[in-house]
Structure 1
């Protein structure tokens, strides 16, 4: 019961903070606030340059794979534990997940740079 109450309280508090963060800045909008700022000078060009969506997707994919590899870094210390079967099962699961994710990205051509 305490766990459920804690989870509910934390969820409600997080939702309230997100709502306030999105709602509060929209109350006081004016032109100076939405214009780009370049060290006090007038902008030389548009600050809202478009970028390649492919670059964005490759960058997000890199971050996800990097995070999964970071989860494997404590593995040498975990192998020294008493419960070796659980450690190896979790390591095999993470490596399998990483390999399956790479295979999926490869088949969906998410790693192709040329458009």
Structure 2
């Protein structure tokens, strides 16, 4: 059994060794001077001007949550599309029902104005 996995074990050992060598060489040969520009906070190319704990508009959170919901739901389509040839008609009708419910939810959000930025 070791013979079957020896190539994989060799590959893992070589990649670990190569990564370690590159890390050590980059640490040795890089410039280690920390100046004010390197240690300053970076925020969109300019210095931060306000407290980080300020409140955000609720639309940022709403758009983020809507994106996550639709992104996760659409990610369910990939496994279905991979094995569509092996499914019977019931698998097709189930995904059609899923897409119909997804479309109804999208239209509801659209008509409620959740996607308008104003």
TM-score by length of 1: 0.56
* CA RMSD of superposed structures (Å): 2.1
Aligned match for 1:57, one of 62, 69, 74: 62
- Is 1:78–1:87's contact at 8 Å kept on the other side of the alignment? no
Paired positions, count: 73
Structure 2: gaps (5+ residues): 1-40, 42-48
In structure 2, distance between residues paired with 1:86 and 1:65: 23
- Is 1:57–1:110's contact at 8 Å kept on the other side of the alignment? yes
C-alpha distance after superposition, 1:34-53 (max 9, x if no partner):
xxxxx9xxxx8523111110
Higher relative contact order structure (alpha carbons within 8 Å, sequence separation ≥ 6): 1
Q: Which deviates more from structure 2 when the two are superposed, residues 70-79 or residues 104-113?
A: 70-79
Bigger radius of gyration among the two: 2
In structure 2, distance between residues paired with 1:45 and 1:59: 23
C-alpha distance after superposition, 1:28-73 (max 9, x if no partner):
xxxxxxxxxxx9xxxx852311111011101101110111100111
In structure 1, distance between residues paired with 2:106 and 2:81: 23
**Dislocated runs of 4+, deviation >6 Å:** none
